[in-house]
Every structure is written in C-alpha cells, then in structure tokens.
Homo-oligomer: A and B are copies of this chain.
Amino acid sequence: MSVTAVVPFRPVNPKSRLSHVLSKDERECFAEAMLSDIVTALRGAGCSPFILSTVPLHCSYAEVQVSDQELNPALNALLGTMKGPLLIIMADLPLVDPDVIRRILSTTADVALGPGRGGGTNAIFVKDCSRFHVDYYGASFLKHKKIAEGSGLSCEIIDSFRLHTDVDEEEDLVELLIHGTGRAAGFLRSCGLELLIEKGRVNVRRLPQRSGSGCGDR
C-alpha cells in the first residue's frame, strides 16, 4: 500500500537567510527545486506525496492542498481527519533519496522521527494518525520524542545526514554542492555557485555575472 506523504510548503519569500547569496526570485526558484527533489524522492520510494501550501500553487507533479493555517494547526487538522499511516516531511531536504525514505517507512516502531540540524524535526512517520500530534518550532525534535513517549508510542530515530541536512544557511549549500544530484543542486550550479576551498575550510562562492536558469514548470 502506498503511504501518503505530506510536504508543507510556504512559497512566499522563502529561505530569507540565503538573501546575501540568492535574490528573492532565485530563492523562490530554489525552494521550488528543493520541493521537486523531495517529491521525486518520495515517489521513488513508492509514496503518494501531496503538497500542503500556504497559498494556491500551480504544480504539475503533485497534488496541492491549500491551508492558510499555521504549520502546527494545519498538520494537526490533517492528522485528525486521516486514517492509517502518514509521513510528514519538510520541503527543504534536497539530499533526501529514496533509500532513506524506505528506511523511514520500514520502521518497526509506532513513530519514526528524522531529526534536523539544530533541534528541528525533518520527518515524522506515524502509523496511526489519531495517536500523535505535532509541535514544530524550537527544539521540536525533543518535543516530538516526548509526545510519542507520552502516548505510549515506540519511537525510532532515523540516522541519516541526508534527512538531517535542511537547507537554511550558506554553509548548508556546501553540503548540497558536495552531495546533491537533483534539481536544487543543479539550480545552484546554474547560478554560478561553487565550492571554495581556502585554508582547509570549504565554503561557497558565486561566480560573477551569472543568474540562475529559469524555474522549472511547477
């Protein structure tokens, strides 16, 4: 049976912490390329993904539901109406591949959590939606672990750097340029972003006079 996967997405002024590297238009294209990458990975692992967007969105490759609620109430409303298992996975994980999605789905626990760098939660897989609720922001990984424990649900922590690496800061782009093979990594390269190795440290630099090639079709 195909597992439903929801990808929350906020298309407006995304990834503002990358403003010094990418223009607003480029950040919008980049966010959409990352969304496309995660949808591709989900499909590769046999999931049925849909996008939960804060605004109407034209998207050719996945169903879109619109909710003007904040992340937590929007997802908890969804958990309240759904039956069976659900995977919630963030839209800014361009290194995720079908292998790690399969590792999540094959958990023997009631809940699988994919921690994000800095205390966040990048993926939550619940086998029974009615027994879990989400509480994002802050050290949400610790909150989600506690919610599972408080409901008597067994919990597996998924050990994956691909799932752990959400892209927010310039240093995260280093990871994407090193390990990325999808559309988001390709978009960065089309913008002229490349690795810069100085004094043993690896950073990114942007070659002058390049603008990213246009966004793909949503």
Nearest first, the 4 closest Cβ-Cβ pairs linking A and B are: A161-B164, A119-B202, A161-B161, A138-B197
Closest to A120 in B: B202
| Contact in complex: B200, A137 (CB < 8 Å) | yes
Tell me the residues in window 86-126 of chain A with beta carbons closer than 8 Å to chain B beta carbons. Answer: 97, 99-100, 115, 117-119
| Contact in complex: A195, B161 (CB < 8 Å) | no
A148 → chain B closest CB, angstroms: 15
A41 → chain B closest CB, angstroms: 12
Answer yes or no: A174 CB below 8 A from chain B CBs: yes
Copies in the complex: 2
Answer yes or no: A82 CB below 8 A from chain B CBs: no
When each residue 137-155 of chain A gets 1 if its CB lies under 8 Å from chain B and 0 otherwise, what string results? Answer: 1110110000000000000
Chain B residues with CB under 8 A of A174 = 118-119
Chain B residues with CB under 8 A of A141 = 178
The count of residues in chain A whose C-beta lies closer than 8 Å to any C-beta of chain B is: 29
Closest to A114 in B: B161
What does DSSP make chain A's interface, helix, strand, loop or mixed?
Answer: mixed
| Contact in complex: B159, A118 (CB < 8 Å) | no
Chain B residues with CB under 8 A of A175 = 117-118
Please pick, from B97, B115, B162, B195, the residue contacting A119 in the complex, using a CB distance under 8 A.
B195
Please pick, from B99, B142, B171, B200, the residue contacting A138 in the complex, using a CB distance under 8 A.
B200
| Contact in complex: B115, A179 (CB < 8 Å) | yes
* Interchain CA distance A162-B157 in the complex, whole Å: 11
| Contact in complex: B159, A99 (CB < 8 Å) | yes
Answer yes or no: A201 CB below 8 A from chain B CBs: yes
Closest to A162 in B: B159
Answer yes or no: A160 CB below 8 A from chain B CBs: yes
Chain B residues with CB under 8 A of A64 = none
Chain B residues with CB under 8 A of A167 = none
Closest to A158 in B: B161
15 pairs across A/B with beta carbons < 8 Å?
A97-B159, A115-B161, A115-B179, A118-B171, A118-B175, A118-B201, A139-B178, A139-B195, A139-B202, A157-B179, A159-B160, A159-B162, A160-B160, A160-B161, A161-B164
